[in-house]
Amino acid sequence: MAKPYTNGFYTSKAWLECRDSYMRTQDYICERCSKPALIVHHKEYITPDSINDPSVTLNHNNLEALCQDCHNKEHFKHAGVLREDVMFDEFGNLVKV
């Protein structure tokens, strides 16, 4: 789920351009399973301290193109639970499947 401190970041011109350019470099293919990628994931998670640090937020070396399933697995594994009844949408919101 998108955190309050990211408000504005995921709709910013800088992020949208970075996200789109990264997806093009990966041919819109999930880097983990080769399905179509829908989400650009930050390998080093964005925090309140790093939200304004482009070396974290806008750095292609910190990004990964993922399909919806792989993105959900990534976030739920850190939560210590793998749930199949919910998922993250393309905006980072938790929604029922």
| Confidence at residue 86, expressed as pLDDT on a 0 to 100 scale | 74
Q: What is the chain's alpha carbon radius of gyration, rounded to the nearest angstrom?
A: 13
Range of the domain at 37: 4-96
Which structure tokens are listed for 9? 């970041």
Q: What is the dihedral of CA 22, 70, 38, 15, to 10 degrees?
A: -50
How many independent structural domains does the chain possess?
A: 1
**pLDDT tops 70 at residue 78:** no
pLDDT in tens, 18-29: 999 999 999 999
**HSE (CB half, 13 Å, CA atoms) of 94?**
9
Hunting for tokens 């976030």 — which residue is that?
75
Q: What is the pLDDT of residues 7-61, one digit of tens each?
A: 899 999 999 999 999 999 999 999 999 999 999 999 999 999 999 999 999 999 9
What totals of helices (H) and strands (E) does the chain contain, helices first? 3, 4
Residue 94 confidence (pLDDT) above 60: yes
